[in-house]
Chains A and B, each alone.
Chain A
């Protein structure tokens, strides 16, 4: 039947339903497993091949040698496009994507995240810790 107000029933029903939106800053939306958010770097696994730097489309990641077989990573969150190609490129699983997505900062310097290498216990740590 062609008539106006076809959706009126739906609208009235919505009055008695819970809102479709969530109270976001207070109620956090859970991200699904495997969501590509902020990167995490595990220095112990890095072998310094820099495959991640080569493949990053946004030049967001920098691997620096800080000691004998010790590497640290600097990730520029302002540049990172969350494609996680570096995670795929890494031959040693040193990089992984976490579901963390609230990355906004008022201070731009905080957008550069450095994952430091653990320099103190060079002798204690086995080289192939996984």
Chain B
């Protein structure tokens, strides 16, 4: 019997996926011979929405790009705006920003460890890491006023100060977390099932990681020594000492070790920040109208390098905001890592880049030879086309539009 290739669609709606995205996997038996990743099912139009809101409102909108690394995106954005406006953020503001950033890294990596455990059927790990993650979530709620969207950043600094009573609470929480992380490091390096299941899975060689432009722990597990915190220090990282954790396992096991190592570095950083917290104000007053200019800001989010580009035109609204979430840099690596591997490795290899598909979803255009659309469309043309398209589907918005126009 001749061998046949067949293609199975995984997603956009699939029980194994937490977010809508589509993987078209071509299989030969159990082996993956080709893979097609398609994003675009979670497009929220955030970049366009930013242009319609003021800079102050955009900080909160940008924060909602991601539910896990919310502080990463808002910091990246405010850094760009501060650069355009020429604002000098007070040192205490920068330290508090860095403290929240590291606490966020702790909660994100603990979350990942649990998810990775779940994907390989080790749900005990999921239950215990997520129980311990509550410690850092509660700490974030105490410091910032919310568990997820901290709302800590504002243009020119941070919104809340760290009080003297909070410092012992931070240190106590970090002690608990450090002890637990040491235990998880032991589990990861000594539990046979984890080592057997993760070693040699999702292999990404050092050259390929560089060539495909992987970022964050995915790249660092392939011995790519790259970290924005050290290479291009922002916030208070220039004044703090820490190690960039790398590993040369090149597989999912290496990525686990890198993340556990980064957790330990994060505790070290938090202790340094708390010990050296400078006095003074936490923010400077920002003008409502940001002078014309443009800036590119880089930030090492828990998932990798996050890039924001902001262009201001002298009004209180940005002219353009561009977000490159770390998952976009890592997502093409997944297809490469899964080539000639078994289908059963797919969930853990996708989970190992710690994907966040909603964050990464920007406007994309699928190239097709069939419809000869012009390369760019003007707003009126786009509007006319959408009205026309809906009319073909039997939906007429004319009446509705008129009502809105009257308002």
Residue-wise, chain B 258-279 has the 8 Å CB interface mask toward A (1 for contact) of 0000000000000000000000
Q: Tell whether, in the assembled complex, residue A11 and residue B124 are in contact, meaning their CB atoms are under 8 Å apart.
A: yes
Give residues 125-163 of B contacting A (CB, 8 Å).
Answer: 125, 128, 131, 134, 138, 141-142, 145-146, 149, 151, 154, 159-160
Does B295 make an interface contact (CB < 8 A)?
no
B60 contacts the other chain (Cβ, under 8 Å)?
A: yes
A85 touches B142 (CB 8 A): no
B145 adjacent to A7 (CB under 8 Å): no
Of A27-35, A64-72, A118-126, which binds chain B?
A27-35
On whether A81 and B142 interact (CB within 8 A), knowing A7-B128, A20-B131, A55-B54, the answer reads no
Interface residues on A, range: 20 to 34
Identify the closest chain A residue to B141 (Cβ). Answer: A32
**Which residues of B in the span 238-254 have a Cβ within 8 Å of any Cβ on A?**
none
B interface, over-half SS? helix
How many of chain B's residues touch chain A, expressed as a range?
20 to 34
Contacting pair B145 A97 (CB below 8 A): yes
CA gap between A10 and B183 in the complex, in Å: 10
Known A-B contacts A7-B187, A10-B128, A36-B146; the reply to A55 vs B193 at CB < 8 A is no
| A81 and B60 contacting across the interface, CB-CB below 8 Å | yes
Q: Is the CB of B192 within 8 A of A4?
A: yes
A5 to B272, CA, bound (A): 36
List residues of A (37-95) whose CB comes within 8 Å of B's CBs: 54-57, 81-85, 88-89
Q: Is A23 an interface residue (CB 8 A)?
A: no
Q: Are A2 and B60 in contact (CB under 8 A)?
A: no
CA A88 to CA B283, docked complex, whole Å? 13
State the Cβ distance, B390 to closest chain A Cβ, in Å. Answer: 26
User: Is there a chain A Cβ closer than 8 Å to B186's Cβ?
Assistant: yes
Closest to B183 in A: A10
A55: contacting residue among B56, B131, B146, B195, CB under 8 A: B56
- A117 and B141 CA atoms in complex are apart in Å by 32
- The distance in angstroms between the C-alpha atoms of A31 and B138, with both chains bound, is 9
Q: Are A82 and B146 in touch, CB under 8 angstroms?
A: yes
Q: Which of A3, A33, A36 is close to B151, meaning CB atoms less than 8 Å apart?
A: A36
**Residue A6 interfacial (CB < 8 Å):** yes
Contacts of A82 in B (CB 8 A): 146, 149, 151
Q: How far is the CB of B31 from the nearest CB of chain A, in Å?
A: 28
- Pairwise interchain contact B191-A83, C-beta atoms closer than 8 A: no
Q: Which residue in chain B gives the minimum CB-CB distance to A14?
A: B128
Supposing A57-B61, A84-B151 touch, asked if A6 and B190 sit within 8 A by C-beta, the answer is yes
The reply to whether A35 and B128 form a contact with Cβ atoms under 8 Å apart is: no
B127 to A, closest residue via Cβ: A20
B residues 171-228 touching A (CB-CB < 8 Å): 183, 186-187, 190-193, 195
Contact surface of B with A, Cβ cutoff 8 Å: 53-54, 56-58, 60-61, 63-64, 124-125, 128, 131, 134, 138, 141-142, 145-146, 149, 151, 154, 159-160, 183, 186-187, 190-193, 195
Known: A7-B191, A57-B60, A83-B60. 20 other contacts (CB 8 A): A2-B190, A2-B191, A2-B192, A4-B191, A4-B192, A5-B191, A6-B187, A6-B192, A11-B124, A32-B145, A34-B145, A36-B146, A36-B151, A57-B53, A57-B61, A81-B149, A82-B146, A83-B151, A85-B56, A85-B57
CB pairs A–B below 8 angstroms (25 shown): A1-B190, A2-B190, A2-B191, A2-B192, A3-B190, A3-B191, A4-B193, A6-B191, A7-B128, A7-B187, A10-B128, A32-B141, A33-B142, A35-B141, A36-B146, A36-B151, A54-B54, A55-B54, A81-B60, A82-B146, A82-B151, A83-B151, A85-B60, A88-B159, A97-B145
